[in-house]
Amino acid sequence: MVEHQLRARGIRDERVLRVMGELPREKFIGPVYREEAYEDRPVPIGAGQTISQPYVVALMSEALKVEPHHRVLEIGAGSGYQTAILAKLAKEVFAIERIAELAERASKVLSELGIDNVQLRIGDGTLGWPEQAPFDRILCAAAAPDVPEAWIEQLADNGRIVMPIGGPEMQNLFLITKQGDKITHENLGGVRFVKLIGKQGWEE
Ligand code: SAH
């Protein structure tokens, strides 16, 4: 997976490549789809949600430029796979998932892997996590019509957000950076994600 799907397509961040090479992706996927864990496509994780293909996970993780002292907010923890990667790259991860069944399973897998720098809660991540703000980095794996205002407010100076923005069917992956009052958007290309459902996202 690391050589053919990630390195060959231009992923260069050695920390991201190492962490993705070490983490057992199959542990985050239920028994029915487990054999597809390393395939080059999204895989169902239950409750109508999917885990992104490894390349997209790597692309987002690389664009986020996580440093070991960072506090990261993740919205849409799903299976917990991306959460685990962030936990290995950062100091602390604050993850939010709206579907209880997924959040509970993700928590269990994270603790089985001995990952103890994650706080995972069930709720609407479009409002961020004001009690824990500011965050150096914010990553979201569900698509919204625009960046939730709460995330911009809760992002630290020189912070970065990586998330898909667009319509319900097709989106572009964006890197959003904040420097003082200046917010910039960089388009990283077309993607397809499930919807971000919540107060500052799509309606249910
Ligand atoms: N990165 C995940 C993929 C999750 S798919 C993984 O590695 O498995 C996107 C997830 O976002 C879904 O689990 C969905 O339930 C969740 N989601 C959608 N809207 C949300 C919201 N407002 N707050 C928190 N999670 C949300």
pLDDT at 49: 96
Specify the pTM.
0.98
| Average pLDDT value over all residues in the chain | 97
State the Cα–Cα distance between residues 166 and 168, nearest whole angstrom: 7
CA of 9 to the centre of ligand 1 (A): 25
CA of 99 to the centre of ligand 1 (A): 8
Nearest to 159 by CA among 84, 66, 91: 66
State the Cα–Cα distance between residues 155 and 15, nearest whole angstrom: 23
Q: From 43, 49, 120, give the residue whose CB has the most ligand 1 atoms within 8 Å, as the site to mutate.
A: 49
Nearest to 60 by CA among 108, 11, 127, 107: 11
Catalytic residue among 52, 61, 79, 107: 52
pLDDT at 104: 98
CATH (one of 3.30.70.20, 3.40.50.150, 3.40.630.30, 2.60.40.3080) for 59-191: 3.40.50.150
Which residues have a Cβ under 8 Å from the Cβ of 114 and sit 6 or more positions away? none
Residue 204: band (very low, low, confident or very high) from pLDDT cuts 50, 70, 90: confident
pLDDT at 34: 95
- Is 52 noted as a catalytic residue in this protein? yes
pLDDT at 5: 98
The SS3 call for residue 183 is strand
Nearest ligand 1 atom to alpha carbon 82: 7
DSSP-derived letter for residue 37 is: T
